[in-house]
Structure 1
Amino acid sequence: MEIQKLSQDDLDSIARLISSVAEVDIFPYFCEQGRAEFQTRVLPDLKTILTESNYLSVKAVISGDIVGVAALRNADYLTHLFVSKSCQGMGVGKALLDYVVKETQAKQVNLRSSINAVSFYESLGFECTGEEGDYNGIRFMPMTLDLSKPESSKAW
């Protein structure tokens, strides 16, 4: 597996990847409004992670196929982390997260985890920082990884 920077040429591939993962892992936790919000807002917003200079956007590639994607905004906010269903549980998500965390100088990384991914992030040292939230039907859990803690920095 290789971790590489995303390029404009990857847009269609990552949109398909994210859509397929969302259909199985995320949409079951959303109401109809949340599904519609995701499809009309999140997917079209993918161009932003490829064109804006304040994003570090990377992909995981196996045998020429994109199997995962991650995007870190402003060096401290994880906006995307998606791994193909066929590669979940193989360390792809951790490798993507490892890459972006090692690239940042931030003292913490924040995110809004999908409900199904909370245990994944907790296993990597993230902690819930509030109650479950809902934005236009998109359910999430606010989480933070404190990189200033000695025990957190050992993992990265």
Structure 2
Amino acid sequence: MVIRKMEPADIDAVSTLCMAAFNASVAPTLPAQGIETFAKVAAAEAFLQRLQGDNLMLVYEDAGSLRGILELKEGRHLAMLFIDPEHQRQGIGQALVTAMTAHARVDPITVRASLTSVGAYLRYGFQCSGEPGEFAGLTYQPMELQVTRPGQARP
């Protein structure tokens, strides 16, 4: 197992993994507009464009296959966290979140969690930070993760 920065060669596999995880758990809860919005965000071209920006993209690789993806925008907002549906509940999400915190530039890190993923984010240490919302057909729960604990210095 290795967690590393995403490379351009990973883009197609990452896009496929995100769509598989989204279709398995999130898509059934959304209207067609939300599914269409997410498909654009998870398209290979969109990932490639964001890879050129101020986004940290980490992949979890095991036995030569990608099992998870995490995207941290501007060191402050968790934009994507998806685990291969066949490998969920094996600690991959927690490992990616832990790796991400070393790259945080602000405290707390925020996320707009899909409603189906709130339980997972709570297990990762996030807390709800507002009322559920909706944007372009995607429903979400605002959440945040305190990177530093009282008495600790920022990473």
Amino acid at match of 1:103: H
Distance, in Å, in 1 between the alignment partners of 2:116 and 2:23 is: 12
2:31 is aligned to 31
**TM-score, length-normalised on structure 1?**
0.90
| Partner deviation per Cα, 1:22-49 (whole Å, 9 max, x = no partner) | 1111101111111112113443422233
Give the Cα–Cα distance (whole angstroms) in 2 for the partners of residues 145 and 125 of structure 1: 6
Match of 1:45 in 2: 46
Deviation sequence 1:64-96 (CA, Å, 0-9, x none): 001101011111111111000111000001111
Residue aligned with 1:99, SS: helix
8 Å Cα contact 1:110-1:143 kept in structure 2: yes
Aligned length: 152
One-letter amino acid of the counterpart of residue 142, structure 2: P
Match of residue 86 from structure 1: 86
Structure 1, unaligned runs of 5 or more: none
SS at match of 1:98: helix
CA distance in 2, matches of 1:96, 1:147: 14
CA distance change for structure 1 residues 137 and 106 in 2, over 3 Å: closer, same or farther?
Answer: same
Give unpaired runs (5+ residues) of structure 2: none
TM-score if structure 2 supplies the norm length? Answer: 0.91
The answer (yes or no) to whether the contact 2:35–2:137 under 8 Å persists in 1 is: yes
Match of 1:150, SS?
coil
Aligned residue in 2 for 1:97: 97
Cα distance, 1:124 vs structure 2:
2.0
Q: Which residue of 2 aligns with 1:65?
A: 65
Distance 1:36 1:92 in 2: 27
- Give the structure 1 partner of residue 109 of structure 2: 109
Contact 1:26 1:114 (C-alpha < 8 Å) held by counterparts: yes
More helix by share: 1
The whole-number CA distance in structure 2 between the counterparts of 1:40 and 1:64 is: 27
**Structure 2: distance between partners of 1:78 and 1:35:** 19
Letter in 2 for 1:99: A
Computed over aligned residues only, the root mean square deviation of the Cα atoms, in angstroms, reads: 1.8
